[in-house]
Each structure stands twice: as structure tokens, then as C-alpha cells.
Chains A and B, each alone.
Chain A
């Protein structure tokens, strides 16, 4: 039920979002139409950080409660993290090619996102090489915790380097945006928020089924 509601909500918000991004929002003066990718890019980035935070919560809660549901929660959040951060990096590259003239540069924000992506991927490599379910949960939770503690340090370290990335336009230091652009971004955030919640909900349900299947396999093998 909850999953259906989330599915309907994300579909119902995503369609107007797409319309607003491509037709309602005004064309940016210097960059032109390519700037529209920004309405995808920023919510994707936020999704990446939300995933990092959820992985932190999942890891911490597993270590405190020893309940495998928290390990599944962390792992599913980390999976969404890989998807969102990777998509964010790709949209950033598509934007950078015409605007900066390059696909990639080791600029602060790019590096930060790349490192976050690498930590998520390292987390999955670790899980893949831990066959025992309980050990996998315990050790990957320790790593998840250590990895997410690393994110603020990365942020400080990378921000002390001079950067090429446009400074945030929203927030205390930014100059603000056109109100129509602002509305589009807000709607886009809402749509991506529902999409994230829907994907996480589905993924958690699948993870639970996967675990049941593993258990049933064990039972079957034990009786053979």
C-alpha cells in the first residue's frame, strides 16, 4: 500500500517537474539550455548526501541493536547512494563539457562526489567478499560508520583547495535565482524526494525477500 502511494506520488510530481524544467523555467542567459540539467543535478546530489546519512544511521543502529533489518537499511541506502551520486556525476559531466569545455577536472566538488561514490563502492566490495551473513552485517556496518565519518573531513579538505565549480546560488552566500527557476527547483526537489522514498521502500522489500530466499536455500540444502 505504502509503496503504491509513493509510486503514484512520484509519478504525479515527476510529470509536472519535467514540464516545468523544459518549458516553464526561463533559459539561463549565459549558459543557455544546458543549464536546465541543474534541476536534475542538484536533487541528485542531495539524494547522495541523504544516502550517506542513512548509511550512517543504518550502520550505527545495527551496531547498537544487532538487528539485521538495520544492516539491510544501510545497504539499500548505500545502493541508492551509488545510483544518485553516479547519476549526479554524469549529469555534471554533461553540463561541464559545453560550459567548461572539459568532461572532468579534479575540482573540489567533483572530487568530493567521486570519493563519496568510491566509499559506497568500497562498501559493496567489502560486502561481496564476506560470505557469512552476520559477519557481513557487522563488518560492513563498522566500515559504513567509518566511511560516513569521513565525509565531513573530505568536505573540509577539498574545500580548502581553490575550486572551479560554480558556488551554490541558493543559501547565504549565493545571489539568489529567478523566482520561476526557484519554483522549478523546489518542485523538482519534491519529485525526487518521492522518487527516492519509493525506490528505498521497494529496495528494502526486495532485500527482505532476498534474505528469506537465502534462508530457505540453507534449509533445503541442510535436508539434502
Chain B
């Protein structure tokens, strides 16, 4: 477990130094929310229908940006090889990067979510906490599959451009679950949320396990 923590800590130190990843992903997420307000101009009635969608488009696009940055850091100067030379399994490297990607995405969401609440004139009450809980689970799901996909895309000639092509189709179930669960929180029909949460948790567990096992094929020459 210690090397996993070391990877997260290292990424945090690098981010504090360079301030590249968080500022750009957060700004991007907020901008997507702003753009959607121009694009739809929802009245207060339609807001509950459209708002969850805008939130999750913002978060999943911002995530793609952050995932690319996170991996670019490792491929710059071939640092990934340094990790591969260390006495930890390929799977642990994967878990370390998932943990660090998850942490950064959550930090970005700490800004994006309140902005979302303000833009949509929602309240900072128990609803907000429920949305935050959904966001945490969905973020884990996105980080689990996004970390290995960003490693794959970094190997292609298109590099960063390839990641959305691979990631968007695979995260369709996550986005559907997150959008519908968020919508239900906003409309107060919270009865069926638990099955969405199970789906998100199941998705994370399955992808964490499969990726842990096959990560070596994604990083080795």
C-alpha cells in the first residue's frame, strides 16, 4: 500500500509545483457549465431536466483533460519506466494512478459542484450532499476505467486525441447512472437511486479488478 500512497503524494507535490492540471480541468468544467446556460437558456421548469446532464458533461469532459495531463506527466522523460523498474507490481502502479486521478478529479469537483448549485439556484442542503455522494462514486468509476485508457491512448500516434474516442463509449453507463440519479435528487424521487449507486459501485469494482490484472499489458513494451 505504501508505494501507492507514494505515487499519490508525488503527484500532489508535482501539481503544487506546476499548477497545470487542476487549474485547467476546473476552469474547463466551469466553462462547460457556462456554455450550456447559453446553449439552452432553460426556464426554471426545464432546469431540473437539463441541469444533471450539463453537470455530467462538464465533469466527464474535465476528467478526460485531467487524465491526459496525469499520464503526460509520466510519459514525459519516460518516467513511467522508472516506475516499472521499482519493486512494485504493475497493478499497484495502476492503483496509485487511479488514486491520484480520483483525488484530483474530486478537488476539481469541489469547485464545479458549488458553481453548478449557484448557476441553477439550488440550495446547499442535504440535496447537495446527495449529489456529492453520487459524484464521488461516479468519479471513482470514471477514474478506474480512464486511468488504463489514458495509458493505452498515450501509446498511439494520436496521443491525447485518442482518449475521448476510447473513453466516452465506455463511460456511457456511468454517465447514464449519474445523470439519472442526480435528476432524481433534484426532483425528490429518491426511491430508485440505490440501484444506480449499485451500478456505479459494481462498475468501479469490476473495472478496478480487470484493469489491475491487465495493466501490465498496457504499460510493458
Interface residues of A (CB under 8 A from B): 63, 111, 115, 118-119, 122, 125-126, 129-131, 135, 138-139, 141-143, 145-147, 149-150, 153-154, 156-158, 160-161
The interface residues of chain A lying within 8 Å CB-to-CB of B74 are none
User: Given A135-B155, A141-B217: A146 and B211 within 8 A (CB)?
Assistant: yes
Q: How far is B154's CA from A129's CA once the two chains are assembled, in angstroms?
A: 11
Shortest CB-to-CB span from A26 to chain B, Å, is 39
Task: Tell me the residues in window 167-221 of chain B with beta carbons closer than 8 Å to chain A beta carbons.
Answer: 168-170, 172-173, 176-177, 180, 192, 195-196, 199, 202-203, 206-207, 210-211, 214, 217-218, 220-221
Among B156, B168, B202, the residue within 8 A (CB) of A130 is B156
User: Given A129-B158, A142-B148, A146-B149: A122 and B173 within 8 A (CB)?
Assistant: no
Among A63, A130, A142, A154, the residue within 8 A (CB) of B172 is A154
Shortest CB-to-CB span from A204 to chain B, Å, is 23
Among A130, A141, A154, the residue within 8 A (CB) of B155 is A130
Shortest CB-to-CB span from B169 to chain A, Å, is 4
User: Given A125-B162, A146-B145, A146-B210: A158 and B217 within 8 A (CB)?
Assistant: no
Q: Contact between A142 and B170 (Cβ–Cβ < 8 Å)?
A: no
Q: Contact between B199 and A153 (Cβ–Cβ < 8 Å)?
A: yes
Q: Contact between B170 and A119 (Cβ–Cβ < 8 Å)?
A: yes
Shortest CB-to-CB span from B205 to chain A, Å, is 11
Q: How far is B152's CA from A138's CA once the two chains are assembled, in angstroms?
A: 10
What per-residue 1/0 map shows which CB atoms of B91-132 lie under 8 Å from chain A? 000000000000000000000000000000000000000000
Q: Contact between A157 and B177 (Cβ–Cβ < 8 Å)?
A: yes
B165 within 8 A of partner (CB): yes
The interface residues of chain B lying within 8 Å CB-to-CB of A161 are 176, 180
Q: Contact between A160 and B180 (Cβ–Cβ < 8 Å)?
A: yes
The interface residues of chain A lying within 8 Å CB-to-CB of B168 are 118
User: Given A125-B162, A130-B155: A153 and B217 within 8 A (CB)?
Assistant: no
Q: How far is B158's CA from A129's CA once the two chains are assembled, in angstroms?
A: 7
Q: How far is B158's CA from A175's CA once the two chains are assembled, in angstroms?
A: 50
Among B157, B206, B220, the residue within 8 A (CB) of A149 is B206
Q: Contact between A126 and B199 (Cβ–Cβ < 8 Å)?
A: no
B50 within 8 A of partner (CB): no
Would you mind naming 15 contact pairs between A and B with Cβ atoms under 8 Å apart? A63-B217, A115-B169, A126-B156, A135-B221, A138-B218, A139-B217, A139-B218, A142-B152, A142-B217, A146-B170, A146-B211, A147-B170, A150-B172, A153-B202, A156-B199
